[in-house]
Amino acid sequence: MEVILKQDVNNLGFTHDIVNVKDGYARNYLIPKGFAIIANETNRKILAELKKQQAFKAEKIKNEAAAVAKALEGLSLRIAAKAGASGKIFGSVNSVQIANAIKEARNIEIDRKKIHLSDEGIKELGNYKAKVKLHKEVQFEIDFEVFAE
């Protein structure tokens, strides 16, 4: 019997997969637990429409991320930090401060979790790069300088 999985099932398949299982397994376990539905013609059409809508939404999200990346292209940030005479910063510069600097420079909000630094936190003055991952296919590097206040 062919069924359409409504959620991931270990050792069977992932959400929206059409899989072939034994009749008893489908009738007695998968369908009553809500893990699957019978893969009849109606449900196949519904699945096709759902996949089409999801592909459209994913493409829209990717295009929005690409537009943001294009808007931030070539941006160079300057981040002020309190530092000692030796160039060591009191504290560190992290992704929150970079996100705030981007917001001030271009008025674009980026989630701090999408900004990745090579180190845990920058603790010295100088020039650095941060990788910004807006989407799994859209990522870029942004240059920033940490200077003493």
Structural domains of the chain, ranges and CATH numbers in brackets: 2-68 (3.40.5.10), 71-148 (3.10.430.100)
What pLDDT was estimated at residue 85?
A: 85
What pLDDT was estimated at residue 67?
A: 92
Condensed to tens digits (0 to 9), the pLDDT of residues 89-121 reads: 888 888 999 999 999 988 999 999 999 987 677
pTM above 0.75, yes or no: no
The alpha carbon dihedral of 99, 103, 106, 108 has a sign of positive
Q: Where are the alpha helices (DSSP H) in 4-149?
A: 23-25, 41-72, 95-106
Nearest to 124 by CA among 93, 149, 95: 93
pLDDT band at 62 (very low <50, low <70, confident <90, very high): very high
Could you tell me how many residues make up the chain? 149
d(CA 22, CA 45): 23
What pLDDT was estimated at residue 1?
A: 94
How much is the average pLDDT of 116-130? 85
What pLDDT was estimated at residue 35?
A: 96
